């Protein structure tokens, strides 16, 4: 399921000119994401390749994110993926409350590929052990990206934006519905 992300109106940017995400949830508990940026990728500050590892504060530079809220729950999971290969996973009890590392989310596979003038970041992450993400629940999902420009500006892209400052944790950003699955 392919979705267009839109830049926050307070953070316009020259590049990329468009950003879209594709997401798939399979019965085995694997989430697959593809973020495609089109436009002048030379104007996007991409982090250099790094050893794949869990690390904090990826949102300070170009990174791609997914927020997952199971229906009927107030807690949600935040996943951060850097084109460098670094990643993070957090669990929240409620809106920006009770943040802690989501240790039951294992390392994702992250791949950066240049595509003409743009680029693609492909991610596959196994969420089958994530207790906060039941397979038999539908999920509200927020897909977003922080894009750091070579001009020093940062743009915030998401499926939807609430009024005011960029806030990917806001429920309005959880704009995509994924149906329940049965884990095999």
Distance of CA 150 to the CA centre of its chain: 21
Residue 12 — pLDDT band, cuts 50, 70, 90?
A: confident
- pTM comes to 0.95
pLDDT at 184: 46
Closest alpha carbon to 16 in 115, 118, 120, 121: 118
Overall average pLDDT of the 151-156 stretch: 93
Overall average pLDDT of the 108-131 stretch: 94
Domain 2-178 has CATH 3.90.550.10: no
CB-based burial, 28-61: b 16+ in 10 Å, e otherwise = ebbbebbbbbbbebebbbbbeeeeeebeeebbeb
Site of tokens 């005011």: 164
pLDDT at 183: 54
Number of CB atoms found within 10 A of residue 137's CB: 16
């Amino acid at each position: 399921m392919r979705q267009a992300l839109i830049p926050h109106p307070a953070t316009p940017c020259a590049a990329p000119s468009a950003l879209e995400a594709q997401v798939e949830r399979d019965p085995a508990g694997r989430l697959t994401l593809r973020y495609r940026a089109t436009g002048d990728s030379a104007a996007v500050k991409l982090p250099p390749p790094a050893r794949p590892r869990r690390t904090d504060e990826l949102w300070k530079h170009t990174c791609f994110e997914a927020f997952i809220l199971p229906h009927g729950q107030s807690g949600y999971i935040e996943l951060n993926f850097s084109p460098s290969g670094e990643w993070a996973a957090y669990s929240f009890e409620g809106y920006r409350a009770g943040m802690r590392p989501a240790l039951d989310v294992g390392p994702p596979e992250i791949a950066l590929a240049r595509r003409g003038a743009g680029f693609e970041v492909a991610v596959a992450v196994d969420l089958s052990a994530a207790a906060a993400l039941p397979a038999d629940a539908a999920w509200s999902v927020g897909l977003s990206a922080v894009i750091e420009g070579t001009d020093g500006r940062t743009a915030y892209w998401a499926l939807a934006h609430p009024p005011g400052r960029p806030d990917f944790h806001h429920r309005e950003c959880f704009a995509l519905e994924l149906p329940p699955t049965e884990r095999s």
